């Protein structure tokens, strides 16, 4: 029932993605084009994709650089919810990541009620952030933004790369800025990140250690892929 997805699953993944998140098949294709190393896991029933989770290999920079699986687009068909399919699929995927040497799995709950759901699966709040309004700045290239971001994040944090920023720019219409105090990523409709002002704040993302836990005091994920 639980397997790593292959190309034949893409139509089913796109259909489930559309039901759960409202995205078009074209948007789903853009995601996989942007992240060719994404590993997808699915639950199938009678050949149909009924639950899914996708993992992007990332780096969590703490006292050392740790390989992390950032989970994205976790969903189950409405007609199949309440049967433990997501719980089973997550356990299957976590066993795979641990075998592959990932130190942890990280996710951003889509709504507050999901914190309790993921807590029951062994995840705990580990990243906080504020929601700071964008007050203006000077546009800069994404590469400059990444370099400045590393300078502004001395504590534990998720490391981004150019493909993540490029994808975020495509789906959110972001522009990257240098501000009077640091940097910001924003569009007319979305303020994705303002640093250092976003440091601290309320619980934002969760982690599950797949091996030895590491201390993550004042850890920061960022805007992630919400």
Domain 2-126 CATH assignment equals 3.40.630.30: yes
Q: Are strands 48-61 and 39-45 parallel, antiparallel or unpaired?
A: antiparallel
Instruction: Identify the H or E element spanning 168.
Output: helix 162-172
Degrees, nearest 5: CA angle 56-9-83: 85
Q: Give residue limits of the domains in the chain.
A: 2-126, 130-201
Find the mean pLDDT for residues 78-105. 95
Query: In this structure, what are the phi and psi dihedrals at residue 97, rounded to the nearest 5 degrees?
Result: -60, -40
Residue 80 has pLDDT above 60, yes or no: yes
User: Residue 225: its pLDDT value, please?
Assistant: 64
Contact (CB, 8 A) for 1 and 42: no
Residue with tokens 């292959």: 6
Mean pLDDT of the chain: 93
pLDDT at 157: 95
> Region 215-225: what's the mean pLDDT?
84
């Amino acid at each position: 029932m639980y397997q790593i997805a292959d190309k034949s699953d893409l139509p089913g993944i796109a259909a489930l993605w559309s039901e759960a998140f409202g995205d078009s098949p074209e948007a789903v294709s853009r995601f996989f084009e942007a992240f060719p190393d994404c590993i997808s896991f699915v639950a199938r029933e009678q050949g149909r994709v009924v639950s899914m989770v996708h993992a992007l290999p990332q780096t969590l920079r703490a006292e050392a650089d740790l390989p992390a699986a950032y989970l994205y687009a976790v969903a189950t068909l409405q007609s199949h919810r309440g049967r433990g399919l997501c719980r089973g699929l997550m356990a299957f995927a976590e066993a795979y990541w641990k075998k592959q040497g990932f130190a942890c799995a990280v996710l951003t709950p889509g709504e507050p009620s999901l914190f309790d759901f993921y807590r029951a699966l062994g995840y705990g709040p580990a990243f906080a952030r504020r929601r700071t309004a964008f007050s203006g700045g000077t546009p800069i290239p994404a590469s400059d933004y990444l370099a400045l971001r590393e300078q502004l994040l001395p504590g534990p944090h998720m490391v981004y790369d150019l493909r993540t920023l490029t994808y975020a720019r495509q789906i959110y219409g972001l522009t990257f800025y240098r501000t009077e105090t640091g940097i910001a990523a924003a569009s007319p409709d979305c303020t994705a990140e303002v640093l250092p002002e976003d440091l601290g704040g309320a619980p934002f993302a969760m982690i599950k250690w797949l091996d030895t836990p590491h201390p993550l005091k004042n850890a920061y994920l960022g805007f992630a892929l919400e």
